[in-house]
Structures are given as C-alpha cells and as structure tokens.
Chains A and B, each alone.
Chain A
Amino acid sequence: MNDVAHETITGPRKLVKMANQIGDFFKSYPEETAIEGIRDHIAKFWNKKMQHELFGFMDSEKETGLSALVEKAVTKLR
C-alpha cells in the first residue's frame, strides 16, 4: 500500500501545534488566567531550546499558525 503518504510534522510547525494544544486547554478560562496558564506551562515544561525555536519562528514568519491567545502568552514569556 505505497499510495499512503506518511505525514509527520517536525520542526517549528510541531511546536506551534503543541503550543496551540496548550492554548486549547486554557481557552475556557478568563483571558488573563489563560495567558498566565499557557505562559507558565511552556516555561515549566519546554526546554530553552524549544522556546527559542518558537520565538525565532515567530520573528521570521508572518503566518505562524499560533492562536491569538497563545501568541499573547508566548510574547509575555519572551
């Protein structure tokens, strides 16, 4: 069955996906709490290199794919 294209996202796109997933959990909280929750989670669980890779991606790309909420939280983290 070689017609199946195997898809695995890597690099910054994967980080964006992970960050958005975190955002999805916190989005039902009031915005302030949500932003703090997302910021804190990334600060605690992602190593510095992953964090910097995401920052770099935000600087270089116009369309990062990050949700607005996550973008705010990550900006606060920097």
Chain B
Amino acid sequence: MTLIKELDYGTPIRVSEQMVTLTIDGASITVPAGTSVMAAAMKAGTAIPKLCATDSLEPFGSCRMCLVEIEGRRGTPASCTTLVEPGMVVKTQSDNLHKLRKGVMELYISDHPLDCLTCSANGDCELQDMAGVVGLREVRYGKDVANHFETTSPLSLLKDESNPYFTYDPAKCIVCNRCVRACEEVQGTFALTIEGRGFDSRVSAGGVSFLESDCVSCGACVQACPTATLMENTVIAKGQPEHSAVTTCAYCGVGCSFKAEMQGDEVIRMVPYKEGKANEGHSCVKGRFAWGYATHTDRITKPMIRKKITDEWREVSWDEAIGYAASEFKRIQKTYGKDAVGAITSSRCTNEEVFLVQKLVRAAFGNNNVDTCARVCHSPTGYGLSKTFGTSAGTQDFKSVAKADVVLVIGANPTDGHPVFASRLKKRLRAGAKLIVADPRRIDLVKSPHIKAEHHLALLPGTNVALLDSLAHVVVTEGLVNETFVRERCEWQDFEVWARFVAEERNSPEAMEAFTGVPADEVRKAARLYAKGGNAAIYYGLGVTEHSQGSTTVMAMANLAMATGNIGRDGVGVNPLRGQNNVQGSCDMGSFPHEFSGYRHVSDDSTREMFQSLWGVELSNEQGLRIPNMLDEAVDGGFKGIYIQGEDIAQSDPNTHHVTSGLEAMECVVIQDLFLCETAKYAHVFLPGSSFLEKDGTFTNAERRISRVRKVMEPKSGKAEWQITMDLAKALGYEMHYKHPSEIMDEIAALTPTFQNVSYAKLNEMGSIQWPCNDKAPEGTPIMHVDRFVRGKGKFMITDYVPTEERTGPRFPLLLTTGRILSQYNVGAQTRRTENNVWHNEDVLEIHPFDAEQRGITSGDLVMLASRAGDIALRAEISERMQPGVVYTTFHHAKTGANVITTDNSDWATNCPEYKVTAVEVRRTNHYSDWQEKNNREEIELKRIATSIAAE
C-alpha cells in the first residue's frame, strides 16, 4: 500500500454541456466551459505553480505564483482566475514567467523560517514544493526587517494550541487565505478572518483562541492550509504517514469517505477523501478527529463470561466463551421453547456482520426474533415511505440539494447531527435557496452567519402531523396541487380521498394553531413557498420518527411531496437523515423480525424458499419479536436469552427501568462490543468486537450508498466480528463457510434483488454504489422514483392527527424533547473516549428563561427532571433557543440517564419509541436521583473483572 495522493486541479471542476478547446504549451486540450486555465493545464498533465489555489475553493488570485502568458493578451494573467476560451494559446513556462515566480517565492520565503528539516509539514508542504519547483536558491530580502517567525521579533505571535486536535502556528503563515475561504465556502461557519493589513496581516479566529471561537473543528482549514501553519497534532507528534487506505466514517449516516493515513498499523490522521461522493472531501470533527476511542485503554480485547451479573467477569478463551454462550442458548430453548431467545443487530456494524447475525437467528435459533436498533430511530421511515412510495429509503443523493430551491427541514438539526450534509445545505442556501425550518427549538440553521430561515415553524413537540396536515390543507385549498403530476404518477382515487380529508376545516392552519402553536399565517406562507418556490426538498430526522405518530408523519411528508410534484428528479424528494452510519444498511440486511433482506415478509413463501434452499435449513414463516416486545416478554418471563451486537440498549432505549428489568430477567445476555457498556452490566458473556479500523466490510448511508470499510489494523481481539458470529452459529449447530466478508456480500447479492449486481469488485471499481443496483440499474440509482414509483403509482395516505397520550398536566407541566450535539455521538461510547469532551462533558437541561425564573433556576443549578417514568438530576442551562413550556436535553452521557425519563409510548406502526415528547417537571435540587446513585454503585459492582489469579 502507498500513500494515496489526490490530484489538486487548483480550482473546482466545472460541469458544462459546452466544451472548449485550447492549446497549452503546444498541446491541444478540450475541457468544459467555465474551467480555469490552471485546471485545464492540470488535466493536460501540467501543474502550474500555485499557492493560494486549491480545488476545494473558488479561485482567489492573491499569490501571483500561477502566472501564465496568453497569446494576444498583455501581461501575465493568473491562471487560477482566468477561464479558458476557444482557441486560446497558453504558455506556462518562459524565462520571464520563471523570473516572476522566483521573485514571488523569494518574497514569501523572506518571512518564513527556514526550518524545513524539523517542520511538521516536511514532506507535505506546498511552500517547500514550490520553492523547489521555481528553483529558489537564495533569499536576498528580509534580513534587516522584522519578521513573524523569530520569537524575539515584535511581530511574532504565540502558537494557538487550544484545539485538542490541531495547532495554529502563525510563524509559518503565508496569508494565502485558504483557511478563511475553507471555513466560509466548504464548512460555512465563518469562524476565521484575516486580521491586520499588508505585511502585518495574520489569520485569526475572530480575535479569540480557536477553542473559544465559533470554530466547530471540522478540519477544513487544516486540510486547505498549504504549510505547517494549521497542522494536525498527531502529525506534529508522530510525523508524516507513509501509507493509506480509503474507508468510511463509523459515525453518522452521512457516511463520509476518508483516507486512513497510517504509519504501520497506527493511524496518524483521517483525511476526507475527495472522490467520496457523500462528502466530496469534507468532514466533521467526529470522523476527522474523534477516532482515538479505537485504541482507548478501556477496550476489552479478551472474551469474558460470568454465571450471574453480580459475579466478577472472568477472562476466558474464545472457545470457552462461545461454547458457554451456545450451551446457554440451547438450554434456554430446550427449557422455555424455541422462541425464548433472539438477537439485536447494530447499525454501527457492517452490512456483512449484520447479515450474519440475522442469518444466525433464522437458521441457528430457528425463529425470527431479530431486530435492529433502527427500531428506535428510523423504523417509521421504512414503514411510511414503503406505504406511499414503495421503498424503505430516501429518494435522493446528497448532491441533489445543490439543485433545490426550497428546503424544508423538519425534526432534524443537521449542523449538529449531520454536519457534512449541513455544509452542503448551507452552501446552497447562501447561493439563494429558501429555507423552512419546522422544529420546537431555534436550531442553528434558523439563523447563523449568512443563513436565515424564511420561516421557522416553532411547533410544540408531538404536533408534526397537525402541522403537515395544515400545510397540505393550504396546498389543496389554495389550488397549489400539481395536478399533472398527481394524475400521471399517483393513484387518483386515493388522492381524491386524501384531498377531501385535508381540505376539511379541522385541518386548516387556523384550526391546527391550537395544537401546534404556530401562527396560521406563517403556515400558509410556508406552504405557498414549498408548493410554488421551484424544486422543493424535504429533509428530516428523528424529530419526525420518534413520536407516537412517527409513521404517520413520514406519510404526511410523502403526501405533501407527491401533491406538489416534488419527487423523482434532482433537487426534490423526501430524505431521512439517518442517525448512525449503517442504519440504512442494517434495515436493508433483513434484521427485522418480519422481513428478510430487501424488505420481504417472512411469510412470503417464494422468498423464504429461496433462502431455505441456499441456507439448507427450514425457516420459520412467523414473524418474531421487535425489541420493545422482547423486553415486554422478558419482563413477563417468556424471553430468556439475547445476543446483542454492538448496541447499548440500557442507555439508548427509552424507559431505562423497563429495559433493565427486562435484561435482569434474562438468563443469558451475550454482548459483542468494544467496551463494557451499560448493557454489559446485565450480561453473562462478553465477546470483544472490533472498531471500523479493524474490519473489512461495507456501510450503507442515508443516500442508499454502499461504501467500503477497509481494514487498516488487525482486530485487537484476534477475531473479526463476522468470524465470531460464524463460530457462535457453528457452536449452535449451524455451520457457515466464509473466508472473507466479500463472500458474504456475494450471498447478499444473490438473495436480494436490489443488491443483485453489488460486489466488492464493483465497489472497488466505482468507489461506491447506490442501491438498487441490478440489471435494470447496473450502475446503481442516485435518484429514485424517476419515471414511476417503486410501488407503481404513488399512494396518498390519510394522516389524521391523533394527539399523543403523553400530555402535560399539573404534575408534569413541561414537555421534554431530546436531541444531540455535534461533538458527541449517540450514547457517547466512542466520542466520550476522545478529546471531544472539551466541547461537551455532561448533558445539560436547556430551559427557557421564563420557565426557569418561575422555578427560581439559574444557569448551572442542579435540577431534578421528573416524568411519569422516572427522575434524574442534571445541570440547567438557560436558553432562548427553547420556547416556554419546552425543555431539552441530550443523551450522550450514561451517568445522566436521560432515558430514565422517557416513557415507553411508541409509534403506532413500528413501536419506535416516543423519545421526543415526555411530560416533565423541573425543580431545583441538591442531590442526585435514586436511579443515578444506584447506577453509580452498579457502575463498579456490575463491571468488576477478576484479576488473573496465577500468571500463566
């Protein structure tokens, strides 16, 4: 393996129908109109010297290194800012140009330390490269004027080491502006400026340190910097990487592509990969920097077992651990029946690993008790979209947002949850697209630098359906329906029934205002904008799905998109933003109790026969239990054993009391994880898993994009996760024979029509593939439902608003809604074990000043948060982002126990829990809750590991 170096064309690659032919250094080249001379030269194989240009940014024309001569033009124009023209004749080299470039270089170097040998960028510095290219041999200036690099110089500035992941060393800055532009153009945060003028000028994070500034640590500036000025701390500490592999981020559903840059089997840095279609070279703090958990000392790398959860853990051999788990599962099935065991698959594991776990359940357990953590996040997406469109997935690729004119963001907070998508979205908004935000909180998108939402519909938690129905009411009653589209593409009769329903007065914005709290007038305006503003796209998150009417809301959005004809082309669509990296994949892979891979019901005989004949075993035609049903059954005594792949249900699932009593009632809980997570407190067998850096496989992101995960180090436990599942299946009496994850993918392709043509060979060749990928769509499918819906015709569904049973009252007068923040991820098992804690080290309760004042609460007070389900204590933070009556917290920290509060209300169709609405009361306190005290004790009691008795 070598270090992958991507070509830098200097300016963005343009697309155009129109092609232009010109001559560069005597050779003819044809490029799309709008291309710069610099990029055209690079395409022809000539790298023109440059410093301030890089192809992730618009040209700036400040350094004057890239000068060229053009026939018929006076002077020496900059090739980065000059666009190609037909018949242009360009010369990139001449004595004059050489002299000019050398002069520029000499000036730069006169204010730059000559410590290349000890510099962290040594070997990867564009300034160094350019000095070499122009043949700089001496520096005549600068000897007797003040410079920026000598510590004794009046101009010298201190290094900024406040960010835990990168350092700013002003001594090395050439003021090329690339960092400032990256922060604006790529990331959209506008944290950096150039302070001072002329020779004195330097980059500044708004006059404060990076950590105190608006910087979100995305790393775009570090990547854009051509020198050592902005540099990853790992490179400063360890030196330049020597080889790399392309892999996929293991955090959120954006699924960014990264180069893992290595020294031996040690990661030096993760650099976003330009060719990666989900992120096109951008990243966020999690994927870029927060990978240290993979080698954290908390990693458990040896299998362990114990008879009772109060026993100490005992390290054992793989054989003993797997043998014990299998014998327990067999005993349980013999005593309590075949259906008394099941498994949960993880959206953090690869498609291949997930596929094997569900195969184990169906083939070795002989039942269909397999579910995935998507149950608790996006199951309503699957249900709602398959009912209306016929497929359980988002309709677009991320790139599509660049063609949207109106964007409706509902129940999602992309700048925190899906940052790289948020950067794309903000870029489009800065270019003029209009934004509608429907969210109880004033999220960052509502107003941030150069972004302002046209409408912020600040609805009360739990009223999404009411809001969407009233938007639809306006569309139908004000004649904004795209009738041609509906007649051609949808079931007309269903449309008519639906249109009559939403047109009813009770669905008008005026009537619904009583529930949603959103002024009717604002709703009317937003509806008109959505229907008539051009290409309109909906992006949504868990604020849609995690409700008792989650599935209904998904259908209501689909209705709205169909009624206005916003489906089936670039720039439109209905798009879930998925929480975890492989939520889409784990659903596709058939880890549902009622469905095989590709969303086919287990009672479908022909599908089942296909699986039976390939797997050589009889399969059950009866759907199994979903996660909440498993826990209910466990509490009732009928469900006794579970195999949990990389999920921490004791922290992530709602109503912790109920979850833990379910787990406690089980006789064999097998956990496969990196760490002794919360759920592991209730486990009897611990099978050490591997991080994404230790595995080969694939993840499928929210755009249905299948991307490779590539192994850059051996599993710390000595066994790959797919091998663990295979061994467990064998011990249960069912043998599987795979030699590499690629063979598992081949089996998935053979059994799943939408994956028919997917293979590792094809993934290597194409980089990534969006399913469906089969004979009808051999190159995959970026945009779905183009000429017809997957189900044939689009189906409108009636979406009556039914208020949740979770109501406020005198005891619980406030509504709690939950979410997450940028620097932490989900239950925090990974991010809490990184430096990301400098941004967020505890969950806090956000509360509106009005509610706080009434209760005598000030920021920083410890407050008791209580619901019908339980109570916890945490610190309060007064925040105007909240509306009165609504409080908010995150669930990243196990010790907070936010899910002690959430109830077991759930979506009517999928049992996806209602995390987003809980009636609560808040009051000041001076002690932690009983649950928290107990949890603190158990944190020690239930996680003890026996110290090995005799050294072997």
Contacts and interface: CB of A to CB of B under 8 A. Distances in A.
Given A8-B904, A49-B638, A21 B870 contact: no
A50 to B, nearest CB: 6
B802 A47 contact: no
Nearest to A50: B629
B608 to A, nearest CB: 15
Given A45-B594, A47-B593, A49-B638, A24 B908 contact: yes
Interface in A22-47: 22, 24-25, 27-29, 41, 44-47
A10 B632 contact: yes
Given A10-B636, A18-B911, A4 B871 contact: yes
Contacts of A50: 625, 629
Given A8-B903, A24-B800, A48-B622, 17 more contacts: A1-B866, A2-B930, A4-B867, A5-B868, A8-B657, A9-B904, A11-B632, A14-B632, A25-B551, A25-B800, A28-B501, A45-B623, A45-B909, A47-B593, A47-B622, A47-B625, A50-B625
B636 A11 contact: yes
B411 interface: no
Nearest to B633: A49
Nearest to B552: A25
B898 interface: no
A1 B864 contact: yes
A18 B632 CA distance: 13
Contact of B929 (A1, A25, A46): A1
A62 interface: no
A1 B930 CA distance: 8
Contacts of A18: 906, 908, 911
A27 B930 contact: no
A7 interface: yes
B852 to A, nearest CB: 18
Interface in B900-952: 903-904, 906, 908-911, 925, 929-930
B637 to A, nearest CB: 11
Given A25-B552, A29-B798, A6 B594 contact: no
A25 B339 contact: no
Interface string B537-566: 000000000001001100000000000000
B866 A4 contact: yes
B768 to A, nearest CB: 33
B635 interface: yes
A75 B856 CA distance: 54
Contacts of A48: 622
A24 B601 contact: no
17 contacts: A1-B866, A1-B929, A2-B930, A4-B867, A7-B868, A8-B657, A10-B635, A14-B632, A21-B908, A25-B552, A25-B802, A28-B798, A41-B909, A47-B339, A47-B368, A47-B593, A47-B629
Q: How large is the interface on A (under 10, 10 to 19, 20 to 34, 35 or more residues)?
A: 20 to 34
B226 interface: no
A48 B909 CA distance: 17
Contacts of A41: 909
Contacts of A22: 908-909
B909 A1 contact: no
Interface in B603-651: 603, 622-626, 629, 632-633, 635-636, 638
A70 to B, nearest CB: 11
Contacts of B866: 1, 4
Contacts of B870: 4, 6
A44 B601 CA distance: 8
Interface in B859-901: 864, 866-871
Q: Which of B622, B626, B629, B929 has the most CB of A within 10 A?
A: B629
B560 to A, nearest CB: 17
A74 to B, nearest CB: 15
A21 to B, nearest CB: 4
A14 B632 CA distance: 9
Contacts of B800: 24-25, 27-28
B623 A44 contact: yes
Contacts of A6: 657, 868-870
B333 to A, nearest CB: 15
A76 B860 CA distance: 57
B623 A1 contact: no
Q: Is the interface of B mostly helix, strand, loop or mixed?
A: loop
A26 B868 CA distance: 28
Contacts of B601: 44
A2 B636 CA distance: 25
Contacts of A11: 632, 636
Nearest to B624: A47
B658 interface: yes
B247 interface: no
Contacts of B817: none
Interface in B734-774: none
B869 to A, nearest CB: 6
B248 interface: no
Nearest to A20: B908
Contacts of B632: 10-11, 14
B655 interface: yes
Nearest to A11: B636
A4 B864 CA distance: 12
Contacts of A27: 800
A8 B658 contact: yes
Interface in B334-368: 339, 368
A6 B802 CA distance: 24
A10 B636 CA distance: 8
Nearest to B367: A47
A48 B501 CA distance: 35
A56 to B, nearest CB: 13
Contacts of B869: 6-8
A13 to B, nearest CB: 11
A77 B235 CA distance: 65
Contacts of B657: 6, 8
A7 B871 CA distance: 12
Contacts of A10: 632, 635-636
Contacts of B624: 47
A1 B871 contact: yes
Contacts of A29: 798
Contacts of B635: 10
B798 A44 contact: no
B729 to A, nearest CB: 22
Nearest to B800: A28
Interface string B150-175: 00000000000000000000000000
Contacts of A5: 868
Nearest to A53: B636
A8 B653 CA distance: 14
A11 B626 CA distance: 15
Interface in B835-869: 864, 866-869
Q: Which of A1, A10, A14, A41 has the most CB of B within 10 A?
A: A1
Nearest to B812: A4
A76 to B, nearest CB: 17
B227 to A, nearest CB: 57
Given A8-B904, A18-B911, A41-B909, A24 B622 contact: no
Contacts of B626: 45
Given A8-B655, A21-B548, A44 B871 contact: no
Q: Which 7 A/B pairs are nearest by Cβ-Cβ distance? A: A21-B908, A28-B800, A24-B802, A28-B798, A1-B871, A4-B866, A7-B868
B272 to A, nearest CB: 40
Contacts of A8: 655, 657-658, 869, 903-904
Q: Which of B624, B625, B798 has the most CB of A within 10 A?
A: B798
Contacts of B802: 21, 24-25
A5 B548 CA distance: 22
Interface string A62-74: 0000000000000
A50 B623 CA distance: 11
A43 B838 CA distance: 50
Contacts of B798: 28-29
A49 to B, nearest CB: 7
